[in-house]
Structure 1
Amino acid sequence: MDDDSLTAVLRRAADRQRGFNDRFAAYFDSLTDAAGGALETPAFGRFTARALDLVRELSLRGGKRLRVVLLYEAAALVTDEPVTGLDEAAISIELLHTHGLIHDDIIDDTPVRRGGPSTYYAYLREFPDRPDTALALAVLAGDLAAFLSVRVLLGSGLPPALALAMAAVHADVGATTITGQILDLERDFHPEPSTDLLNAVTEYKSTRYSVLAPLRLGLLAAGADPSEHDGELRRYATALGIANQIHDDWLDLFGDAETLGKSPGSDIRSGRRSYAVRALLAAADKSERELLDAALGDPDGDEETLDRVRDIARAHGIDRSLRAEAERHAREAAALAATWRGRWRPDAVALFTLLPTWTVARDR
Structure 2
Amino acid sequence: MTADNGAGVHERLAGYRDRFNGLFANYFDSVAEQGPPGNSFVPEALELVRDMSLRGGKRLRVALLYEAARLVAPDAVPGLDEAALSIELLQTHGLIHDDIIDDSPVRRGAPSVYYAYRERFPGRPQTALGLAVLAGDLAAFLSVQVLLTAPVPRELRQAMAAVQATAGADTVRGQFLDLERDFGPMPDREVLDTVSEYKSARYSVLAPLQLGLLAAGADPAAHENELARYARLLGVSGQMRDDYLDLFVDAGTVGKPAGSDLREGRRSYAVCALLAATSGAERAVVESALAGPGCLPQTVERIQDIARRHGVDNELLAEIRRCAQEAAAVAANWRGRWRDEAVEFFEQLPLWGVLRAQ
Same fold (TM over 0.5): yes
Equivalent position of 2:305 in the other structure: 311
- Decide which moves more: 53-62 or 249-258: 249-258
Deviations 1:108-159 (A, max 9, x none): 1112211212111222222222222211111111111101110110123332
CA distance in 2, matches of 1:304, 1:358: 32
Deviations 1:242-282 (A, max 9, x none): 10010011111123323323333221111011101111111
Equivalent position of 1:40 in the other structure: 35
AA aligned to 1:149 is: S
Match among 84, 90, 94 for residue 100 of structure 1 = 94
CA distance in 1, matches of 2:181, 2:271: 12
Match among 180, 183, 186 for residue 189 of structure 1 = 183
Q: CA deviation at 1:298?
A: 2.2
- State how many pairs are aligned: 358
Matched, 1:260 2:263: no
Match among 72, 76, 94 for residue 82 of structure 1 = 76
Does structure 2 conserve the Cα–Cα contact (< 8 Å) formed by 1:272 and 1:297? Answer: no
CA distance in 2, matches of 1:132, 1:257: 32
Matched, 1:198 2:189: no
CA distance in 2, matches of 1:185, 1:297: 15
With over 3 angstroms needed to count, the CA separation of the structure-2 counterparts of 1:260 and 1:2, relative to structure 1, is: closer
CA distance in 2, matches of 1:12, 1:356: 14
Q: CA deviation at 1:341?
A: 1.1
Equivalent position of 2:24 in the other structure: 24
Identity, % of aligned positions: 61
Q: CA deviation at 1:51?
A: 1.1
Equivalent position of 2:140 in the other structure: 146
Equivalent position of 1:300 in the other structure: 294
Deviations 1:10-62 (A, max 9, x none): 21221111111111111111111xxxx2x333x23322211111111111111
CA distance in 1, matches of 2:299, 2:5: 42
> TM-score w.r.t. structure 1 length?
0.95
Does structure 2 conserve the Cα–Cα contact (< 8 Å) formed by 1:113 and 1:261? Answer: no
CA distance in 2, matches of 1:60, 1:259: 21
User: Pairwise CA RMSD of aligned residues?
Assistant: 1.5
> TM-score w.r.t. structure 2 length?
0.96
AA aligned to 1:253 is: L
Matched, 1:55 2:49: yes
Deviations 1:58-80 (A, max 9, x none): 11111121111110000000011
SS in 2 for 1:81: coil
Q: CA deviation at 1:297?
A: 4.2
Does structure 2 conserve the Cα–Cα contact (< 8 Å) formed by 1:115 and 1:262? Answer: no
Match among 138, 155, 172 for residue 178 of structure 1 = 172
With over 3 angstroms needed to count, the CA separation of the structure-2 counterparts of 1:334 and 1:209, relative to structure 1, is: same
CA distance in 1, matches of 2:22, 2:291: 40
Where does structure 2 lack aligned partners over 5 or more consecutive residues? Answer: none
Q: CA deviation at 1:191?
A: 4.0
| Moved beyond 4 Å, runs of 4+ | none
Matched, 1:347 2:341: yes
Q: CA deviation at 1:353?
A: 0.3
AA aligned to 2:239 is: Q
